[in-house]
Amino acid sequence: VQLQASGGGLVQAGGFLRLSCVATGLTFSSYDMGWFRQTPGKQRELVAVITSGGSTNYADSVKGRFTISRDNAKNTVYLQMNSLKPEDTAVYYCAADYWANLVRGASIGYWGQGTLVTVSS
């Protein structure tokens, strides 16, 4: 199983980015998918989750600015990030597992390698 995240980069505050995560080696449509982020010295935190059926949930800090979506035909999950803030700067990781594990951030089966998002003020 491989989760390949991409789309990170440097953007000014107020700008936008779209992250992508392509999954191979698993039945993508059967998995719930999540995006997490981590900054140095802090625990990895859940940003957004989407179920196999398309239900979504977001961290309060990104509600109204970020949108998670998936394309099962392309085995890809996306994170559209708008109105970016300097505090969104982090390494972003995609993950695949059951909803409960993703929400708890524990015992997650599969992780991507991370993509760095830097938001300048």
What pLDDT score does 72 carry? 97
What pLDDT score does 106 carry? 86
Q: Can you list the residues of the chain whose pLDDT is less than 50?
A: none
What pLDDT score does 50 carry? 98
Question: What's the rounded Cα separation, in Å, for the pair 102 and 80?
Answer: 19
What pLDDT score does 105 carry? 87
Owner of token pair 């990170």 = 8
What residues contact 25, with CB distance under 8 A and at least 6 apart?
Answer: 1, 2
pLDDT in tens, 38-56: 999 999 999 999 999 999 9
